[in-house]
Each structure stands twice: as structure tokens, then as C-alpha cells.
Chains A and B, each alone.
Chain A
Amino acid sequence: MALIKLQAVRKIYEVGTETVRALDGVDLEIQRGGYVAIMGASGSGKSTLMNVVGCLDRPTTGSYVLNGTAVEELSDDELAAVRNREIGFVFQTFNLLARTKALANVELPLTYAGVSRKERRERAADALERVGLADRMNHQTNELSGGQRQRVAVARALVNNPSILLADEPTGNLDSATSNEIMALFDKLHLTGNTVLLVTHEPDIAEHSHRQIVLHDGKLVEDRKTPR
């Protein structure tokens, strides 16, 4: 069974008198262990797709089943619980809590999962080790470089063992050397069994994935294997 299954998903916004079809009938299946890049120009609907897949938003119509759960009809709080359990977000702008230690940032999802303080600490430390930041655990986020911050964000995404790592332009704010490091990290995480979903408009970043999906005007226009 597919980990992610979208059927005829539409997302329609009313902007003033205009109707915007951000997603216009998207069908998509992603298997567990997949490494998928979602591509498209800005305005193509890829961010909206990511929000829907990441359970931050509900489709206007259509169905979305994530890991066996029909998500489209869940309440806000149920969605929050799904995000907590199933999704690990990595954002372009890192989205870490400022003036807070790396360790505390990584602990955050566990806090909302109701994990005890001691276990939180251990698991967060472990996640930071996996992204190669064992020596930066007690640094405040504003004392870290961009690459290090993104690693903290990846550790936070990983810490709750989610079904999917969802990365929205994860290298958008990084220089190319650091971008390569971060992408190498995603490659490694994929190899160790994680399902990775990248949203990007950069072809060379998409090259890391095994499957590329291209959106245009809210429609899925291309779905291909990454040539090797």
C-alpha cells in the first residue's frame, strides 16, 4: 500500500473576485522509502501540494490517505497530531526557535508528543548526532551557521521517526558547498530507510531524487524517474 495517496485533489482559493486553482485535480502515489522531488515554477502549486501532503492544509475536494489515515476530514487538532507523528518538516528559512539551544529545538516535536524530559533529551541528542552536530547541541541557534541551522532543522524533522521527511527548498538559503552537504545528508537519510519528499525548482537539487514530479498551473504534467 502506498504511503501517500492523493486522488483528484483540488485546492481552490478565492482571492477577491478571482478563483485560484492552486491544485487542480492531482493524483499521486508515493511508496514508503521513496525519494521524490516535486518541481515547478513559482505559482505552479508545488508549495500548496507540500502543505497538503504535510497536513498543514486540507484539500478543497478529493481524498488524501497518509499511511492508512484519510486526512482530508480530520480536525485541526487531529491534523496537528498527524503532523507530529508522520511528518518531519525542513523549511527553506530553517524556522528554528531563536535564542533557543539546538537541543531544545530538536526536542520540540517530542514535547508535543508527550515524551518525558529525559527521553526527549536523549533522542534529540541522538538525532543531532545523526546530522553531525554532536558538538553543537548546546549552542543557541543564532550562534550557528546557515548549514548548521539547516542540520538542526533536519534533526528536528527526524527526531520523532516520521513517515516522511518533507523538505521545502531546503537549500534555497545556502551557498552551493553547504547545499551539497545538506543534500548529501538527505541522500544518506534516504539510504537508511527514510521517505524523502523534496520541493525545489533547482534541477541539480532534484537530481538527487529518484523520481521527479513536475507541476504546472496546479496540474501534474510530468512524472519521471531520474535518469542515472
Chain B
Amino acid sequence: MIVTENFRIALRALWANKMRSMLTTLGIIIGVAAVIGVVSIVQGLQVLLTRQFEGLGANFMIVQPRQQFSGPGMVQKPVRLTWDDGLAIRDAVAGIDMITPQMFGSSQAKYRDRAHGTFVIGVNQDWPEVHDFSVEIGRFFNKVDLDRRQKVAVVGLDVVDELRLGNPIGKEMTLGTLPVTIVGVMEKKGQSLGQNLDDLVFVPFETALGIFGRRAAEQVQLRLRTTSTNNVDQVREEIRQLLRRRHQIVGDDPDDFQIIVQDEILEQTTQLLGTVTFVVAGIVGIALLVGGIGIMNIMLVSVTERTREIGIRKSVGARRQDILLQFLIEAVTLSLLGGAIGLALGYGIGRLATNLIPGDLPPAVVPLWAIALAFGFSTAVGVFFGIYPASKAARLDPIDALRYE
């Protein structure tokens, strides 16, 4: 007998027990919804992260201090990374196009009667170019400002709005207790990884020391661009050797700093997201297993309930394989239905999550392979857990089945 006929029979049988079918397939629905939901979020994140880091370019590099976790009883060596290190790198390592220190902290910005908690970022004149993030109005501070330790600032658009600065150029605001003159406004960048890039105040590195204190200068980040994408590895290694010398790290002692390049960031995030996906896949596997057992259970009940129907069908000429196929298709239909509902639900969850998570996450992406996987798994679960009840039905003796009350 043809499959479509069995499919019709299956749908009718499932429809006759709507509530039961729904509850039975809930395990599959939840399993598939979870996998699709997570995959869509993870995929969206990956797209976003890739886009952001790729935007920085392959010749972008971050050097940052790294605290080594020592064993108990060991003396912790203070970790230092200063702008002097940065200057040493600039002078000694060939192939560096530009380098900037970066110091980051929160502060209260005030203008007239308005106050606004914002983030202050202390950098040098090369920062906009290193980050491909430029000034919209006015100018960024220059080398002269830095050398003279001018109390100037460049603000993001949100700061302008919050403090109602109007045209902010030339206006004076205070950061903490330090008065600064606004010389420029940054272009609009929006959210990135939960960080609002429009709610920042840029000040010259030396000026930031005045806000955060001298101690902050002991742990700065260095951000740089190499002259070419081809010399990244070489520059990285030279920086490493130089910093180890400067920090007096000898032998096999680990670095007290970390050099991150774009490839690594991408690799790390991909790895992390991959791990998340695997963990979720494991959980989903359990959900599908439980869902499958539920389907097997209800199919066994269904076979018992419909013993007489099986007898009738056999008496009019249904062969074993006809009955087997009928119940197998019913089980598969049940789990596929769960898969389809789960898919829609999972996509909904993905969309909801991307809307709820702050930052401009891209719309949930459900890759084709995830859809195929969801349906493939649903089918597999249906077949695997449906085969036993179906073969039980197929093996029934027609006389016993017809006599069954």
C-alpha cells in the first residue's frame, strides 16, 4: 500500500486523539525547539562577531596584561604593562604602522546641571585609525594635545544627547572633577557586544591618568596595526621577546601578557560557540530520547487500543508490512509534527532572544543544516521508537485481533 494512504490514516488517527498526540510529541517539540533556538542565536552571534572582528582587519593586534594564576603559597608577581612598554615596542619592533595605549574606566560627566555616567577611554592620536572609527564633527586630539597634556575630549553622540550639549564643540564639561574642553564628536557606531560605542568620552592618554590615577597606568592595553597583513606573526613574536626581556621573564616562565590577533579572536569565539552548540546538542539528545520513549509508549497504547482495527484490516487483506508501515508512519508523523512545531517555536525563541539581548544582534539565523538536522532527527526518533510497537501490531494474529474486546 502506498505511503500517502498510510500518511492519511496516520493523520486521521492522530487527529482523533488531538490532546494525546500533542502531549506525546511535546518531548520532540521541546528538543527541536531548543536546538533550533540555540543554533539560531549562536549562528547569529557568530555572524556578528565575525563581522566585527573582520572589520578590524587582519593586521590588528591587542597586547594586554595577563595575570598568571599561581599555585597556593607562591608569591604573585605584580603584572605590569605600561605605555613605556608600548613606546619601546614602537621604537624597537619593525613593521608597526601605529600603536596606541588604551585605558578604560567609568566616570561621571557633567555639563551645567546635567550629569551622566559614561565611560572614559584614554588613548593617543592614532586610536581612530587603529580602530577605523572616525570623528564626525570637529577633530580628534592630536600629538600636540598629547604632548602638552591638554584637557580636551572627544565625545560620542549619546553623551551629547544626555548632557544636552547642542553643538558641543568648544564647550567645557567635567569628568569627575577634571574640566575638559570638547573638540570633536565621534561618528555613530551603535551597539557592539553589549557595549554602547556612542556613549564614550575619549581623552588623551596622559589626561586619563589624571582621572584614573597613576596606578591605572601600570595596566594598560596596547592596540596596534602592523604595516602589512603578512608580517603579523613576525611582529607578534618580536613584541613577545621584547616584553619578556623588559619584564624579566626568563626560561620557561609564562608570559605576563597576552597578544591577541584577529585570527585568534575569531578562532576562540568559534571554538566557544562550538562548545556551546555541543553542550546543547547533548541536552537535546536527551530530550529527543525522552520524547522518543514517549512516542513508543503511546504507540504501544495505540496498538492495544486498535487491536480490533488491526484484525479488521488483516481480515480484508492487509499484509504484515501494510500494518507495520501504517503504525511506523503514524509514529514518524507524530515525531515529524513535533519536529515542525519545534522548528517554528525554536525560530520564535531565537528571534525573541535576539530582540531581548541588548546590542545590535543580527536577526536569528536558522541554517538549512539545522532544519535538515531537526527533521532528520525527528524521523530517526520516530522510526527507532516506532518500529517496536509497529512490528508488534504487524505480528498480531488476525483471529485473536478480531476477537479482542
On A, residues with C-beta under 8 Å from B are 51, 54, 56-57, 76-77, 80-81, 83-85, 89, 91, 95-97, 99-100, 108-109, 111-114, 156, 160
Contacts and interface: CB of A to CB of B under 8 A. Distances in A.
A95 B320 contact: no
A109 to B, nearest CB: 4
Contacts of B320: 76-77, 80
B314 interface: yes
A167 to B, nearest CB: 13
Given A56-B315, A112-B319, 17 more contacts: A77-B319, A77-B320, A80-B314, A81-B317, A83-B315, A84-B316, A84-B317, A91-B402, A97-B309, A99-B16, A109-B317, A111-B1, A112-B313, A112-B317, A112-B322, A114-B1, A156-B316
Interface in B282-328: 308-309, 311-322
B253 interface: no
A112 to B, nearest CB: 4
B319 A95 contact: no
Interface in B381-405: 398-399, 402
Contacts of B315: 54, 56, 83, 89, 95
20 contacts: A54-B315, A56-B399, A77-B319, A80-B317, A80-B318, A80-B319, A83-B314, A83-B315, A83-B317, A84-B316, A89-B315, A89-B316, A95-B312, A95-B402, A97-B312, A108-B312, A108-B313, A109-B316, A112-B316, A114-B1
A160 B315 CA distance: 13
A80 B319 CA distance: 6
B91 interface: no
A114 B309 CA distance: 19
B5 interface: yes
A79 B348 CA distance: 52
B398 A56 contact: yes
B403 to A, nearest CB: 10
A96 B312 contact: yes
A109 B316 CA distance: 5
Contacts of B5: 111
A158 to B, nearest CB: 12
Contacts of A85: 317
Nearest to B5: A111
Given A95-B308, A95-B311, A97-B309, A108 B316 contact: yes
A81 B317 CA distance: 6
A28 to B, nearest CB: 20
Contact of B318 (A56, A96, A100, A112): A112
Contacts of A108: 312-313, 316
A51 B316 contact: no
Contacts of B316: 83-84, 89, 108-109, 112, 156
B389 to A, nearest CB: 19
Contacts of A99: 16
Nearest to A153: B312
Contacts of B12: 100
A95 B1 CA distance: 21
B393 to A, nearest CB: 14
A109 B317 CA distance: 6
Contacts of A156: 316
Nearest to B313: A108
A97 B326 CA distance: 15
Contacts of B16: 99
A183 to B, nearest CB: 22
A79 B322 CA distance: 14
Contacts of A56: 314-315, 398-399, 402
Given A51-B399, A56-B398, A77 B312 contact: no
A179 B319 CA distance: 33
Contacts of B319: 76-77, 80-81, 112
A56 B1 CA distance: 20
A84 B1 CA distance: 13
A80 B313 CA distance: 10
Interface in B354-405: 398-399, 402
Interface string B1-20: 11001000000100010000
Nearest to A76: B320
Contacts of B308: 95
Contacts of A111: 1, 5
B227 to A, nearest CB: 74
A112 B1 contact: yes
Given A83-B316, A84-B316, A77 B399 contact: no
Contacts of A96: 312
B309 A113 contact: no
Contacts of A160: 317
A127 to B, nearest CB: 13
Nearest to A105: B312
Contacts of A113: 317
A111 B314 CA distance: 12
A182 B355 CA distance: 69
